[in-house]
Amino acid sequence: MPSPGTDPSPYSETMAYTHYTEIPADVAERAARVRLVVFDVDGTLTDGRLWYGEDGRETKVFHVHDGLGLKALQRNGVKVGIITARISHPVSLRAEELGIAHVYQGQKDKRACLTGLLDALRLAPEEAAFVGDDLPDLPAMGIVGLAVATANAHPWVAERAHWRTRLIGGYGAAREVADMILAAQGKAEAERDRWL
Amino acid sequence: MPSPGTDPSPYSETMAYTHYTEIPADVAERAARVRLVVFDVDGTLTDGRLWYGEDGRETKVFHVHDGLGLKALQRNGVKVGIITARISHPVSLRAEELGIAHVYQGQKDKRACLTGLLDALRLAPEEAAFVGDDLPDLPAMGIVGLAVATANAHPWVAERAHWRTRLIGGYGAAREVADMILAAQGKAEAERDRWL
Amino acid sequence: MPSPGTDPSPYSETMAYTHYTEIPADVAERAARVRLVVFDVDGTLTDGRLWYGEDGRETKVFHVHDGLGLKALQRNGVKVGIITARISHPVSLRAEELGIAHVYQGQKDKRACLTGLLDALRLAPEEAAFVGDDLPDLPAMGIVGLAVATANAHPWVAERAHWRTRLIGGYGAAREVADMILAAQGKAEAERDRWL
Amino acid sequence: MPSPGTDPSPYSETMAYTHYTEIPADVAERAARVRLVVFDVDGTLTDGRLWYGEDGRETKVFHVHDGLGLKALQRNGVKVGIITARISHPVSLRAEELGIAHVYQGQKDKRACLTGLLDALRLAPEEAAFVGDDLPDLPAMGIVGLAVATANAHPWVAERAHWRTRLIGGYGAAREVADMILAAQGKAEAERDRWL
């Protein structure tokens, strides 16, 4: 049973970070091969909440911690993509800011979209990771080398993923994936040392 | 006593999903008969927070997980309705996006509104479910076959419901209701397998 | 020590409600005399977060549960007031919607403002309650018959209050105060029964 | 392991406040020397979430509790600065409101910016504190007398800080820092007594 409820804000632990020695061997092996990480948007790069204004405009809420992770991936030769069923301008704005060129919105069939992207980049499915949280992500997660479910994922998605993040979407789950992949590829310490 | 407070974001469990075997027998029986599910808005499809801009415009915050559930209900022949005491344009926008035709805003007497809807759809009260969180929902909850209270409901509402969700409104409570009803009607696996 | 962090959304308990038998005797006595409840805004009717747009406009986030409580107080002959140090249009909009006439914004000296309001309403300080969360609320809390601190209050405020809510500001703390006062005045059951 | 998830809102503890006797001796010594506190923005004065509107405009969410702390620091002769890698108008608005003159946005090299500020103010690095949450804050944190990590900081940042707040950024972490520094400088009681 859950604790009787807590503050939306106060005390907490640090961001989730998975040290190389904490990554399960089979996940580390899968992550070491990854050249492309594709993210769902709602529930994965956001917490799944949809903000509707009176004028019909939508607000999207991303996280600064995720942004640093997506930039670190690209700096280390891992491409980043976005595939989402919905369409909204903030997604384009955020992707542009992070230098993400592979952005596909309005995709009802995420697997088909991912397959096309793999072809264009001449990558094998085993070289790709897909990070998602709900049923429409399952087809794409089913073909990649590394399928990741965020902590807030539907149980049916979580049980079909190779790895689950500790953080929920929109609050650092994508950063956690980035940190883990870089750790599995032996590049985490160099990333950290850039700042020391 | 609550734990001393926690982060608004980090670690979590997966979305709430109620497997067929976890549904109490009397609830399953009630849910199996449901042909119409009516939702309150504030506190049920949202977490009850009201966003006021300087220009008097209101923002509503829905959840992508709920949307998938409401579409799954309709795809399986269960109608979806919305009855709310307040009036705001984002509710209409969200309802249109989800293909929900039965949207009644500005309803002070939710029971009267529901009764009219049942008449129009030629449904008996036992064929309807109502999902709410606060006192104004009680009259409607009192006449339906399946009365559901969200996890954030007032105790007076929770104690009069046939079933309580584990998630709060605006964070997947409606999806949890949809998943449970489809499970009770033996349609959950087929919904999942659409994505496999 | 806090638990290692939790989801911002999922599972929870019901709204806080204090049954008559749970109210400490001295608090019940104080609450029974209350004819006016004055609320601070930021951190009390909201969770203290301040939303700034690029255009300098501010968004305020209230809660639907609080609104029902403030209307119930007024329906039962208890006046409601708002005294806040900041100034923003959403506060006026929300107050108007709830029929609250006594709204004082931009008040650096909350005690002086409260004293003036008591004079105008010909009420003694013992007939007033003040609900706050931070140091600027202390002077007003120091003169009223019932001083309430929200769950998110600064320790210096909490230790000087007659009663502390279980919920934080902006998430139902004001409703909790309203429910408690009506229970102490023997009017809670009648309020509930309006909906049965 | 985390508890199974909790409400984003309900029950909680009070704001974090560190009494003089609770401050570790070495931290108290460092804090006693501080004449300037510099804050990162995203993840430190906010919770790190980035709000993007359809029109490309960004909303920033600060906290009223933090504002009171930043004003108390300045009232007691401790200067306050802001150094952030991103650029947004709400940061300027909030800084102006709090009387913070030293605001540096768009700073990729936070250490260089901080060094320049120290020169301009004729302060030694040991007289400065820097509060941050992620890797880009490490260089600045490495040279100051008091390096503080918010509760939501990356583990690599947390392990290099002299002190960690109990609250996360955007929910009172900055207030906690202000309260601690004033306590270490023997000025906390006087601040409190202003309101008694």
Identify any residues that bridge with C51 across adjacent strands, giving them in sequence order. C59, D61
Within 8 A by CB and 6+ apart from D193, the residues are none
- Output the pLDDT for position D50: 96
Say what the pLDDT of residue B9 is. Answer: 34
A48 three-state secondary structure: coil
For the segment B103-132, the average pLDDT, to the nearest whole number, is 98
- Closest approach of chain A CAs to the CA of D31, in angstroms? 22
- pLDDT value of position A19: 87
**Annotated domain spans of chain A:** 23-193
**If you average pLDDT over every residue of chain C, what do you get?**
92
Question: Which residues in D145-183 are b (16+ Cβ under 10 Å) and which e?
Answer: bbbbbbbbbbebbbebbbbbbbbbbbbbbbbbbbbbbbb
Contacts of C88 by beta carbon, 8 Å cutoff, 6+ apart: B54, C58, C60, C105
Average pLDDT over residues D101-124: 98
Q: What is the pLDDT of residue B2?
A: 28
Residues of C engaging B, defined by a Cβ cutoff of 8 Å: 1-15, 17, 57-65, 67-68, 88-90, 93-94, 166, 170-172, 191-192, 194-196
Of B8, B9, B13, Cβ closest to residue D4: B13
pLDDT band for position D73 (cuts 50, 70, 90) = very high
Could you please state the CATH topology (level 3) that the domain comprising C23-193 is classified under: Rossmann fold (3.40.50)
Cα–Cα–Cα angle for D189, D190, D193, rounded to 5 degrees: 85
- Cβ atoms of C157 and C132 within 8 Å: the answer is yes
- Determine how β-strand D79-83 pairs with β-strand D102-104: parallel
pLDDT at D196: 86
Task: Give residue-wise pLDDT tens across range C56-108.
Answer: 899 999 999 999 999 999 999 999 999 999 999 999 999 999 999 999 999 99
CA distances from C88 to B174, C50, C57, C92, C105 (A): 34, 11, 9, 7, 8
Contacts with C43 from chain D: Cβ below 8 Å: 64-65
Q: Which of C10-19, D38-47, D88-97, D125-134 has the lowest mean pLDDT?
A: C10-19
Distance CA B106, CA D29 (A): 60
Is the ipTM of this structure higher than 0.90? yes
Cβ contacts below 8 Å, chain B against chain C, sum to: 134
Distance, CA of B100 to CA of B94 (rounded, Å): 9
**What local confidence, expressed as pLDDT, does residue D15 receive?**
83
Chain B residue numbers touching A16 (CB-CB < 8 A): 10-11
With 60 as the cut, is the pLDDT of residue C149 above it? yes
Q: Residue with structure tokens 């009855």?
A: B83
Cross-chain residue pair B63–A50, CB shorter than 8 Å: yes
Residue closest to B195 by CA, chosen among B71, B14, B34: B71
Confidence tier at B13 by pLDDT (50, 70, 90): low
Distance from CA of B119 to the nearest CA of C (A): 22
For the record, the structure tokens of A123 come out as 């990558």
In sequence order, what are the beta bridge partners of B79?
A: B36
Strand partners, C131: C39, C148
Query: Which residue's structure tokens are 């501010």?
Result: C58
D3 interaction partners in chain B (CB closer than 8 Å) = 3, 6
- Give chain A positions within 8 Å (CB) of B4: 10-11
Q: What is the pLDDT of residue B7?
A: 37
Is residue C134 within 8 A of residue D64, CB to CB? The reply is yes
Residue B6's pLDDT is what? 34
The confidence score (pLDDT) of residue C16 equals 87
Task: Specify burial of residue D25 (Cβ count, 10 A radius: 0-12, 13-18, 19+).
Answer: exposed
| Local confidence pLDDT in tens for the 196 residues of chain A | 223 233 333 344 568 888 888 999 999 999 999 999 999 999 999 999 999 998 888 999 999 999 999 999 999 999 999 999 999 999 999 999 999 999 999 999 999 999 999 999 999 999 999 999 999 999 999 999 999 999 999 999 999 999 999 999 999 999 999 999 999 999 999 999 999 8
Q: Residue B179 class from Cβ within 10 Å (0-12 exposed, 13-18 middle, 19+ buried)?
A: buried
D7: left (phi over 0), alpha (psi -120 to 50) or beta: beta
Measure Cα distances from B119 to A175, B74, B100, B122, B136 in Å: 52, 19, 18, 5, 21
pLDDT value of residue A14: 67
